Amino acid sequence: MPPHPISTEEFRIHDVDIRNREAVQKIIAAEQPEFLFHLAAISHVPTSRVNPALTYDVNVGGTLNVLDAVRQLERRPRVLIVSTGNLYGDYDSGESGFSETSPVHTKSPYAASKLIGEQLARSYVEEYGMDVVIARPFNHTGPGQAPSFVSSAFARAVAECLAQ
């Protein structure tokens, strides 16, 4: 596993498959977090099209595992579920941008899986009174991002040109 791109000295890092319900429960129960940021996902749209079963297992099953592990805690943390702006499809928002009430157009297994994850989160809020925040960010980029993403590929191409 490559080193983390930022200093993690103040953090405990757990390398676990989000699909492993027992492992997720064990870590969350042991850590007793005050806040939980859930970003684990298959987020590459072409990968979701090639392997939709894996995408649903990770994105839906993993989200269910996180939510259910939190539900079982006596003192529940606030949970941030990171969804995606990809829910809005390929439509141009125009000058006004998108809002939570804008219609969704799930055009890939990735987008559909993230929408199902949002619905799971809402059901845990309604059924169990959990404190969940859902974000729909658009493109992320940063150190360690896979080269299959356009921002990484572009940055790599620029760096290679500059190195010549």
pTM: 0.80
Q: Give the domain CATH number at 129.
A: 3.40.50.720
Does residue 56 lie in a domain region?
A: yes
C-beta separation of 77 from 133 below 8 A: no
Does residue 134 lie in a domain region?
A: yes
72: tokens are 């079982």
pLDDT of residue 102: 78
C-beta separation of 62 from 18 below 8 A: yes
Does residue 29 lie in a domain region?
A: yes
User: Is 39 strand, coil or helix?
Assistant: coil
C-beta separation of 36 from 70 below 8 A: yes
Host domain of residue 58: 21-163
What phi and psi, each to the nearest 5 degrees, are found at residue 80?
-100, 115
Residue 146: pLDDT band (50, 70, 90) is low
Does residue 137 lie in a domain region?
A: yes
Does residue 10 lie in a domain region?
A: no
Does residue 9 lie in a domain region?
A: no
Residue 104: pLDDT band (50, 70, 90) is confident
Residue 150: pLDDT band (50, 70, 90) is low
For the chain, the domain total comes to: 1
